[in-house]
Amino acid sequence: MITKSSSTSIIKNIAYELGFQFCGISNAEFLEDEALRLEKWLKSEMQGKMSYMENHFDMRLDPRLLVPDAKSVVSLIYNYYPAETQRIDSYKISKYAYGTDYHFVLKDRLKLFLDRIRTDIGEVDGRVFVDSAPVMDKAWAKKSGLGWVGKHSNLVHPKKGSFFFIAELILDLELIPDGPIKDYCGTCTRCIDACPTDAIVQPYVVDGSKCISYLTIELKDEIIPSEFVGKMNDWVFGCDICQDVCPWNRFSTPHSEPLFSPNSSLLNLSKNDWNDLTDEVFSELFKKSAIKRTKKSGLMRNIKFLKD
């Protein structure tokens, strides 16, 4: 007979075999504390024009509405920290977008994970999630001991930093939960001090409408608001500033996922190369990249805003 303890061990072993750096487990229950924070954040309109954040409020907070009779949430982190970064005299893109879109990479890995669970444990109902459904991934990762949510609102692991993707499996299987760990941000305010748009309005609260990642990716307007002129620090897709300055990222180590390795041409693009980007080069460089979310027109809008 497979016990709760043995099922937990099996799942954690599968996670490491599939390349996930850490695996933590929580009971599937209503996120009461997060409900209050989310409601206050939405009422303050910090979601900007990300109207989807207002949808499925209850579903975001209760995994049992996503998977009937859910018992456990399995949280996973997958490293994307690159061995090499862009040349200094370039427009900047977030490190997570260097290689193949993580949604494709991790979704395939998670489907294999669920198949392995069913093979090794038995009939289990569940769903997999990679930042593509109303799941509060950082809240679940925090509950399961994979780190604490830092003052910049990213999850920080004490041995891995914060350059990783978070994924979940919600299962109707009882497992032994892990507990949360301590917040080790202490008195540090490096992320707050470094944010050029003052998006971190107070420790642990980010005004999404001021975040460079929002302005360069989520905001679909033809023009970025003029209040951000001179504050974008050459970022044209996402932003890593708050992570780059975080002292915990001294523990970040290069990933070993070939699909996250960038095209060498991408890292060597100068500003002039970006300015002269053709449709053909864009399609070739970003064929399977998360950068396709902005399309070439969105990317050029961001570049034009920096030049004007």
| Tokens coding 45 | 């309109």
Pairwise CA distance, residues 11 & 156, whole Å = 23
| Tokens coding 270 | 């100068």
Pairwise CA distance, residues 25 & 42, whole Å = 28
Pairwise CA distance, residues 297 & 80, whole Å = 26
| Tokens coding 14 | 């599968």
Catalytic residue among 62, 125, 131, 244: 131
Q: Are 38 and 61 in contact (CB under 8 A)?
A: yes
| Tokens coding 74 | 């399995």
Report the residue count for the chain: 308
Which residues on neighbouring strands pair with residue 156, listed in sequence order? 148
Q: Are 48 and 214 in contact (CB under 8 A)?
A: yes
Pairwise CA distance, residues 137 & 236, whole Å = 25
The DSSP H or E segment spanning 27 is strand 22-27
Q: Answer yes or no: 131 catalytic.
A: yes
The rounded Cα 44 to chain-centroid distance in angstroms is 23
Q: Are 201 and 207 in contact (CB under 8 A)?
A: yes
Q: Are 37 and 139 in contact (CB under 8 A)?
A: no
Q: DSSP readout, 135-146?
A: --HHHHHHHTTS
Active centre residues (catalytic): 131
